[in-house]
Amino acid sequence: MRLVVGLGNPGPRYAFSRHNVGWLVVDALLETLESRRSLSRYHGLLWGPFGEGERSFCVLKPVTYMNVSGRSVAAAWRGLNLTDPAQILVLFDDVHLPLGRLRLRPKGSAGGQNGMASIIGALGTDQIPRLRVGVGEPSRGELADWVLSEFSRSERPLLDKVLEVAVEAVHRWIEGEAMDRLAAAYNGMSLS
């Protein structure tokens, strides 16, 4: 069993914000799975399981606020009887990457992303695979205002490409492709 986790904040105010790009990737992934039915579980919305045997997986959107995402992921970890943090792939925004860039890592620090920090704290390990989706840095103003702002109309075509490529990477991870191969395929790619 594998678990794909998209990070975001609940509520319509945040729906298309940069901080919710993890949820946007999950939404695009669910379109490829033709699944709209979710269960309210583990302090989140859960879809699945999909697939069979070693290729089975679930998809989770924590509905806690970003900063306490670890509560949801830890509950799913226990509830789905996961045993290895490598069974989880966390999708989230990264202001240190420009829009149009992805970065896959098998482990590491939270890099300043509070949702990932919460998950690392809740699971007690940083050995958690993640897909960081670039949302760019603000040219001026507060970082908090920037990540909570929506993508501009001019950014939407590039965002669509990013979501498509991110979903492709997630599908390859679900199929069991090694993280180092995925990193080699996607980390140097620029979609802009």
Q: Which residues are catalytic?
A: 19
Angle, vertex CA 190, rays to CA 187 and CA 192, nearest 5: 155
The residue count for the chain: 192
